[in-house]
Amino acid sequence: MRGSEHRMTKLPVEDIQAWGESVEAKQPQEVLTAAIGRYAPKIVLACSFGAEDVVLVDMVHRIDPSVPLFYLDTDFLFPETYATRDRIIRHYDLKPAQVLQVKSLLTPERQAEQHGEALWSTDPDRCCQLRKVEPLTRALKGFDAWITGIRRDQAPTRAHAKLIEWDAKFQLAKVNPLAKWTWGDVWTYIKVYEVPYNELHDRNYPSIGCTHCTKPVMPGDDPRSGRWQGLAKTECGLHKAS
């Protein structure tokens, strides 16, 4: 059955956009069920091990445990992020083939040789391109759809995200089941279902990226103000239109 379903996954862009509009009133689990039903085994969950993404790990596991996840290992992740990865693997009994580590083609040392020391401070967009965007582009080549944890209220750049949409940047379907959810919705789910989460969230880190570019956020401040502090930069480039 799944093989025959997969032959139907190459929907025209306009049909994917219309599909996104049609599921606007659906709950995240319903959106995931529909997307996994159409795209598996060519669908993957992008997981940073932040709050939204661990919620999606739990939801996906309840729908179809065979759906893989990948994480972008920039070589600059917090120790707490790796610890969360390990807890998630144990909690859901994930096999190595289900957890894909995606890394830059450049080691930090080679990046420093080619682009200078501390590229994240001199040219953060270039650093994100090398350590996130390029690796993600490679990771998505084998898939027809990817699942992300972006929410509309996270940033103005995400305010118009659809639950299902065409990703022109990476040329595949993009599924954003939590787009309509609030930060409070995310944490209600984590508490109700006892989902393992990154302990940095308990230390005023609502958005967690690389160690060099992530700071804690004081209550009441913009949740993404802890990313690239002092710079106009607000996105790493993964969720920006091409």
Q: 210 catalytic, yes or no?
A: no
Residue 30 and residue 59 in contact, taking contact as beta carbons nearer than 8 Å: no
Identify the residue whose tokens are 């040219």: 123
Per-residue three-class SS string for 3-59: HHHHCCCCCCHHHHHHHHHHCCCCCHHHHHHHHHHHHCCCEEEECCCCHHHHHHHHH
Q: Give the number of other CB atoms < 10 A from CB of residue 62.
A: 13
Sign of the CA dihedral 196, 202, 203, 207?
positive
Which amino acid, one-letter code, is at 65? P
Query: Is there a cis peptide before residue 12, judged by omega within 30 degrees of 0?
Result: no
Q: Residue 239 pairs with which residues in a beta bridge?
A: none
Residue 23: which of 144, 154, 216, 180 has the closest Cα? 180
Residue 54: which of 42, 64, 46 has the closest Cα? 46
In the chain, % helix, strand, coil (3-state, to 5) comes to 45, 10, 45
Indicate which residues carry an active-site annotation: 236
